[in-house]
């Protein structure tokens, strides 16, 4: 019922500012994902916090002593070589639970819940609008159309939503001992404004722009797989509609999971750089400077700290959200016809 009311009240105004029917439908159905996204965030959000802590420069390394044979000695005695090793996902989880308490696992959840629905709505509406424009310039539904559309939508979404994600990251990086009261979202935002001004809310934005490559890769692979799935399923038109719909749904879930997994592995270093840029009072000032510092001081493997937590969190999330989004678009457009 609420969808019909929104259509009658809002769609005429959307047409007046240049948004087409399909763009409006995409924005509307992405709001349907709010409940789904909220559920996913509540169940796996602690992985987001662990990932952020692993990416941070303040991560406490543990020292491991490896025996090493000292060559060239008569006795052949060995020596012990100390080496710093990054803690794993479960080590960080255990440390947070012991030192900060279970509630700390959900720091930054408020900004995430506030930002997830608008960011999805803005992204999919911009993606649809850009896709219509680029279809008129390039070969319709070609890879270049998907790449340009995804890049344009991600640029606009990152520019608008960066202050919310900045506050979320600061809250997650804050370490408070068990029993002490951490800052809430409003207090954190006020503190950032007092210490750094408006510019403070846009720290890490350059890294987010670099992260557009992840979105481009993800949607390019996803659209290609989706097109391939349609071509494969066309000959099976003799099967009934229910079987075909369920096959399409799980096929889209698989396509979304594969595309997000590939994109995350390729473009993950920008996330580490973005977290470092958002830290308070650190030596990291710019994107290139941060990349060089991390590579020189910690090695190239440091760019992939927290990747496992990212994959566990993002692959199921993206698979469910994108396939559900496609299903809602299909149902809304089918009803509109």
Q: Are 211 and 267 in contact (CB under 8 A)?
A: yes
Residues facing 63 on adjacent strands: 84
If you average pLDDT over residues 116-126, what whole number do you get? 86
Residue-level length of the chain: 337
Residue 235 has pLDDT above 80, yes or no: no
Residue 26 has pLDDT above 80, yes or no: no
Q: Which among 104, 45, 47, 43 has a CA at the least distance from the CA of 309? A: 47
The two three-digit tokens of residue 300, written as one number: 């190239």
Domain residue ranges in the chain = 204-232+251-305
- pLDDT at site 11: 38
pLDDT (tens digit, 9 = 90+) per residue, 131-190? 999 999 999 988 889 889 989 999 999 999 999 999 999 999 988 777 678 889 999 999
Neighbours of 331 (CB within 10 A): 12
Rounded CA-CA distance 173/56 in Å is 8
| Per-residue pLDDT band at 209 (split at 50, 70, 90) | very high
Neighbours of 279 (CB within 10 A): 18
Rounded CA-CA distance 319/251 in Å is 10
CA distance to 210, 213, 303, per residue, from 266 (Å): 12, 9, 11
Rounded CA-CA distance 315/308 in Å is 11
H-run or E-run covering 84:
strand 78-85
Residue 73 has pLDDT above 70, yes or no: no
For 15, half-sphere exposure in the C-beta direction (CA atoms, 13 angstrom radius) is 7
Q: Which letter does DSSP use for residue 281 in this model?
A: T
| Per-residue pLDDT band at 12 (split at 50, 70, 90) | very low
Most confident of 35-49, 70-84, 135-149, 255-269: 255-269
Residue 317 has pLDDT above 90, yes or no: no
Query: What's the pTM value of the predicted model, to 2 decimals?
Result: 0.77
If you average pLDDT over residues 111-130, what whole number do you get? 87
CA distance to 16, 25, 145, per residue, from 134 (Å): 21, 19, 6
% residues pLDDT > 70 (the chain): 73
- pLDDT at site 41: 52
The two three-digit tokens of residue 288, written as one number: 């290139």
Rounded CA-CA distance 230/253 in Å is 14
Q: Which residue has the tokens 């790449």?
A: 147
The two three-digit tokens of residue 85, written as one number: 């090793």
Q: Are 45 and 111 in contact (CB under 8 A)?
A: no
The two three-digit tokens of residue 142, written as one number: 């070609």
Neighbours of 286 (CB within 10 A): 12
Q: Indicate the Cα dihedral angle 319, 321, 327, 331, nearest 10°.
A: 180
Residue 212 has pLDDT above 50, yes or no: yes
Q: Which among 57, 34, 182 has a CA at the least distance from the CA of 107? A: 182
Rounded CA-CA distance 13/89 in Å is 48
Residue 15 has pLDDT above 50, yes or no: no
| Per-residue pLDDT band at 86 (split at 50, 70, 90) | confident
The two three-digit tokens of residue 186, written as one number: 């409003």
**What value does the mean pLDDT of the chain take?**
79
| Per-residue pLDDT band at 35 (split at 50, 70, 90) | very low
């Amino acid at each position: 019922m609420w969808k019909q009311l929104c259509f009658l009240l809002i769609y005429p105004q959307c047409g007046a500012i240049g948004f087409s029917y399909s763009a409006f439908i995409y924005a509307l159905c992405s709001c349907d994902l709010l409940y789904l996204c909220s559920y996913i965030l509540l169940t796996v959000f602690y992985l987001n916090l662990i990932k952020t802590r692993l990416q941070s420069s303040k991560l406490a390394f543990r020292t491991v002593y490896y025996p090493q044979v000292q060559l060239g000695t008569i006795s052949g005695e060995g020596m012990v070589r100390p080496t710093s090793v990054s803690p794993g996902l479960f080590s960080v989880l255990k440390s947070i639970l012991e030192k900060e308490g279970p509630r700390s696992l959900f720091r930054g959840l408020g900004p995430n819940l506030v930002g997830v629905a608008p960011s999805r709505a803005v992204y999919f509406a911009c993606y649809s609008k850009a896709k219509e424009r680029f279809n008129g310039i390039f070969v319709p539904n070609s890879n270049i159309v998907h790449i340009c559309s995804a890049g344009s939508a991600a640029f606009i979404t990152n520019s608008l939503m960066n202050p919310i994600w900045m506050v979320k990251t600061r809250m997650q990086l804050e370490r408070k001992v068990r029993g002490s009261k951490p800052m809430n979202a409003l207090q954190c935002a006020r503190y950032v404004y007092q210490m750094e001004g408006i510019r403070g809310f846009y720290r890490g934005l350059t890294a987010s722009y670099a992260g557009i490559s992840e979105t481009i890769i993800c949607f390019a692979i996803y659209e290609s797989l989706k097109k391939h799935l349609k071509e494969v399923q066309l000959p099976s038109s003799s099967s009934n509609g229910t079987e075909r719909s369920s096959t399409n749904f799980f096929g889209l879930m698989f396509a979304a999971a594969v595309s997000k997994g590939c994109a995350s592995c390729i473009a993950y270093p920008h996330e580490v750089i973005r977290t470092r840029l958002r830290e308070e009072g650190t030596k990291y000032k710019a994107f290139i400077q941060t990349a060089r510092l991390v590579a020189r001081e910690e090695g190239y493997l440091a760019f992939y700290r927290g990747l496992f937590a990212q994959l566990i969190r993002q692959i199921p999330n993206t698979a469910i959200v994108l396939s559900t989004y496609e299903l809602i678009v299909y149902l809304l457009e089918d009803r509109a016809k």
